[in-house]
Amino acid sequence: MNAPQPSIRGVSIDVRGVTKRYKSARGEPIQALELVDLDIAPGEFISIVGPSGCGKSTLMMLVSGLIPVSSGEIRVDGKPIFGAVKQAGIVFQRDVLLDWRSVLDNVMLPVEIKKLDPKTHLVKARQLLASVGLAGFEDKYPGELSGGMRQRASICRALVQNPGLLLMDEPFGALDALTREQMNVDLQRIWMQERNTVVFITHSIEEAVLLADRVVVMSARPGRIADVLEIDMPRPRGSHSRSDPAFLHHVEKIRRHFMALGILSEA
């Protein structure tokens, strides 16, 4: 890891021998994850890539504590989790802003729910909004924002409570390419300041490599970890990094994984 290391607030995550079985509507078992092992260091940025249906969202939901494992164990800061992990902030693919609340009130929602001190968090909420270019939009309503602005507000909401763990499930999937590139830059900057532990799910191999300290490559269902790549490139990374030979090497390596798994094929 070559990011500067101010006070790291991120938690450690240990995923040990985790499997997850669901039941189909007809009651048949669906093996979503099989024997997943993954250790994440405090303040580490992990990207997860894998084919559709391989269990990425399932893994994220298990780590959030919102759904239980079928077997195995997940520890946060060394302690087994029971129920929702209180240090976690979550960003979903589709922003889930409340249309009847202003942008600022949306960002402050977790503070209200968790009955945290409104004064200090209001300062933090305004700072976060300003840091993603939303100063002046605090009193607007979600319906008045573009998709990229809404997703920025969602990220601020996940970050307002200083979460030790930021879970992001394809947060930029619905955005146009330019906005997405800018969001990558913004997210990296915020992470370098906050040093939360981040689990970032994406379908974009380039995005995964650009942002992560390590990229976890998953294979098709039942989901397993096929490879973990260390991305040892200087930060901050940006457009210039995309032509870096190390970047191209990692992207190509992940592509070859997917070809070997039969998920990608040559033209």
Ligand X SMILES: Nc1ncnc2c1ncn2[C@@H]1O[C@H](COP(=O)(O)OP(=O)(O)OP(=O)(O)O)[C@@H](O)[C@H]1O
Positions that interact with ligand X (CB under 6 A): 22, 30, 32, 50, 52-58, 221
How far apart are alpha carbons 57 and 254 in whole angstroms?
A: 19
Q: Which stretch binds Mg ion (CB under 5 A): 16-24, 50-58, 73-81, 159-167?
A: 50-58
Element (H, E) at 225: strand 225-230
Pick 65 or 142: Cβ nearer ligand X: 65
Fill in the amino acid letter for 224. R
Rg of the chain, C-alpha, whole Å: 18
Q: Which stretch binds Mg ion (CB under 5 A): 8-16, 56-64, 94-102, 104-112?
A: 56-64
Residue 13 or 32 with smaller CB distance to Mg ion: 32
- Nearer Cβ to ligand X (42/173): 173
Q: Does 57 bind Mg ion (CB under 5 A)?
A: yes
Least separation in angstroms between CB 65 and ligand X: 16
Shortest Å distance, C-beta 169 to Mg ion: 6
Region binding Mg ion by CB under 5 A among candidate stretches 15-23, 54-62, 126-134, 205-213 = 54-62
Minimum separation from the CB atom of position 122 to ligand X (A): 35
- CB 209 within 8 Å of CB 254: yes
| Of residues 52 and 243, the one with the C-beta less far from ligand X | 52
- Sheet with strand 45-49: strands edge to edge: 88-91, 165-169, 197-201, 45-49, 214-218, 225-230
- Type of residue found at 84: A
22 binding partner (options Mg ion, ligand X, none; Cβ < 5 to 8 Å by kind): ligand X
Backbone angles phi, psi at 205, to 5 degrees: -65, -40
Residue 93 found at the interface with Mg ion (CB under 5 A)? no
Shortest Å, Cβ 53 to ligand X? 4
- For the CB of residue 233, give the shortest distance to ligand X in the complex, in Å: 25
For residue 82, the minimal CB distance to ligand X (Å) is 20
Would you list the DSSP string of 13-75?
Answer: EEEEEEEEEEE-TTS-EEEEEEEEEEEE-TT-EEEEE--TTSSHHHHHHHHHTSS--SEEEEE
Residue closer to ligand X (CB basis): 55 or 89: 55
Q: Which residues pair with 81 in a beta bridge?
A: none
92 binds, among Mg ion, ligand X, none (CB under 5 to 8 A by kind): none
Max CA distance (Å), the chain = 57
- Exposed/middle/buried for residue 125 (C-beta within 10 Å: 0-12, 13-18, 19+): buried
Residue 32 binding: pick among ligand X, Mg ion, none (C-beta 5-8 Å cut-off by kind): ligand X
Give me the residues that bind Mg ion (CB under 5 A), please.
Answer: 57
